[in-house]
Amino acid sequence: MEVVAGKPGPKSDINLFREQRKGFDPRQRFNGDKGYVGEPSIKTPQKKQKNQELTPEQKNKNKELSSERIFVEHLIRLVKIFRVASERFRLQPRKYEQIVLTICGLVRLRIGALILPT
C-alpha cells in the first residue's frame, strides 16, 4: 500500500494511519511529525513541556529527525501544488480518488526525472 486518497471530511493523520496500519508489518517503524505523538511505532520529535525549554540534546535529536523527514515533506509540498489535497474538492466525489492518484503519479514521474541514474 503506497498511496491512500483519503475520505471526505476532516480526519486526523494519526487516525488515518491507525486505519491503514494493518497493511504494514507490525515490526516496521516510521518517522512522523508531532501529529503522531503517542503512537509507539512512529518516531516523533520531542515536544517542549509547558513553561520549559528543550535541552540541547533534545534539539539536536529533533534536527536529526527533521533532516530524515525533509524528503517526505517536499513530496507533500509537490502534491499540494496541485491544490486538490489542500483545498475543497469541487468535482464529483466519486472522481476524488482517481484524481489524487493521478496527481501522485505525476509527482512520482517528476521526482523520477530529477533523480539521475548512477
Q: What is the pLDDT of residues 24-77, one digit of tens each?
A: 888 888 888 888 888 888 888 888 888 889 899 999 999 998 888 888 888 888
d(CA 41, CA 33): 13
- Residue 4, pLDDT > 70, answer no
Confidence of residue 109 (pLDDT cuts 50, 70, 90): confident
- Residue 99, pLDDT > 60, answer yes
pTM of the model: 0.61
Q: Is the separation of the CB atoms in 35 and 13 below 8 Å?
A: yes
When pLDDT is averaged across residues 72-101 and rounded to a whole number, the result is 80
Which cell numbers hold the place of 48?
517542549
Q: Is the separation of the CB atoms in 54 and 48 below 8 Å?
A: yes
